Amino acid sequence: MSDPVFFRPALSPSLAEILDWTGAKADPADPAAVISRVAPLDEAGPGDLAFFDNPKYLDALIATRASACLIAERFANRVPPETLALVTPQPYRAFATVLARMYPDAIKPGSYFGSTGTGAGAFVHPQARLEADVTIDPGAVIGPGAEIGSGTTIGPNAVIGAEVRIGRGCFIGAGVKIAHALIGNHVLIHAGAAIGQDGFGFAVGRRGHMKMPQVGRVIIQDDVEIGANTTVDRGMMGDTVIGEGTKIDNLVQIAHNVRIGRHCLIVAQTGISGSTELCDFVSVGGQAGFAGHLHVGAGAQIAGQSGVIADVPEKARLGGTPARAFRDWLRAHVVLDRLAKGPPNKKGKDR
């Protein structure tokens, strides 16, 4: 069986071009030498570009056979003689810059079938409005009054509901469902995500739980990325908002009336309860949970598996359940560990 390569480089840049793109510093013997591939340190060979940004991989750096390596200045002297050190203060970001030039298709996915236009079996309602250069893959459904901007791709079996607005240069993955939503430009929504469905709202009582109608919207601003199988509920009366540049991982639940600021990072399996607000540049680790009606200040960092039950000041670092200052959480772990082990016996060993 063949070993398929799903991403092929669109170009093979010279070392001089890479230095120009990244601002890295080096003195190559041959600036015109070409990089044909990118590879991890331990797999790289002649013609390959690698990067080093984590001291855990120092052994792999020392043994690498890569032609060039993006690396911070303090580690540059550990690069093997046959590997050119491309010195930059941010090797990982510089590597991303090169990857984006070499593999543009990996930044914004295209049609699953490599096609353009409206595929066989897709349904576009006569009252829907599509700008030029929109691709609709087979099986997708576009509802009445929906508007889709130029350069946008709608994946197979996606459903775009009535009156939904999707901006330009977007990618909507296979099986995505979008309703009651306004979506900006250059938004990526990966397979299986659900946007704009009912929020979880009920008036509880002894005679049963009365459903609270959810009559709001979802607003997703420009340059947002939403991972596979993530769900974003529409607002009950107002809007659920995802701010510009925010990146959301797979399997995240965002409840009704949540407001997420600009350039936030939210890792997989996080749940954010209704009407909680995350300000700009908040980072959330995986499996964190937020109670409802909270305010999380700008620049706050929430560790994975934290349970946030109170407002969070800006730039705070929290962890644990209930979430507390990160240092306090670590101290509590140390104390509990000592208590669990008990006092040492007379020979100085644990019981």
**Catalytic: 263?**
no
Pick the CATH number of 15-106 from 3.40.1390.10, 3.40.640.10, 3.40.50.20, 3.40.50.920: 3.40.1390.10
**Cα 1 → chain centroid:** 33
Q: Cβ of 334: how many Cβ atoms within 10 Å?
A: 9
Q: What is the CA radius of gyration of the chain?
A: 25
Cβ atoms within 10 A of the Cβ of 176, count? 25
> What confidence score (pLDDT) does residue 1 get?
47
What is the Cα–Cα distance from 336 to 211, expressed in whole angstroms? Answer: 44
Q: Are 274 and 292 in contact (CB under 8 A)?
A: yes
Residue ranges per structural domain of the chain: 15-106, 176-328
Report helix, strand or coil for 197.
strand
Q: Model's pTM, two decimal places?
A: 0.91
- Return the pLDDT at 350: 55
d(CA 169, CA 52): 32
pLDDT in tens, 192-213: 999 999 999 999 999 999 999 9
Q: Which pairs with CB-CB distance under 8 Å and at least 24 residues apart come from 11-14?
A: 11/101, 11/102, 12/36, 12/102, 13/98, 13/101, 13/102
- Cα–Cα distances (Å) from 245 to 94, 185, 220, 265, in that order, read 19, 11, 10, 9
Which of 256, 263, 293, 333 is the catalytic position? 256
Q: Does domain 176-328 have CATH number 2.160.10.10?
A: yes
Predicted pLDDT of residue 87:
97
Distance CA 24, CA 8 (A): 24
Q: Which residues of the chain have pLDDT under 70?
A: 1-4, 346-351
Structure tokens at 91: 């090797």
**What is the structure's pLDDT at 349?**
58
Distance CA 251, CA 271 (A): 9
Tokens of 23: 């601002």
Sheet containing strand 135-136, edge to edge, reads 135-136, 153-154, 171-172, 188-189, 225-226, 247-248, 265-266, 283-284, 301-302, 317-319, 324-325
DSSP 131: -
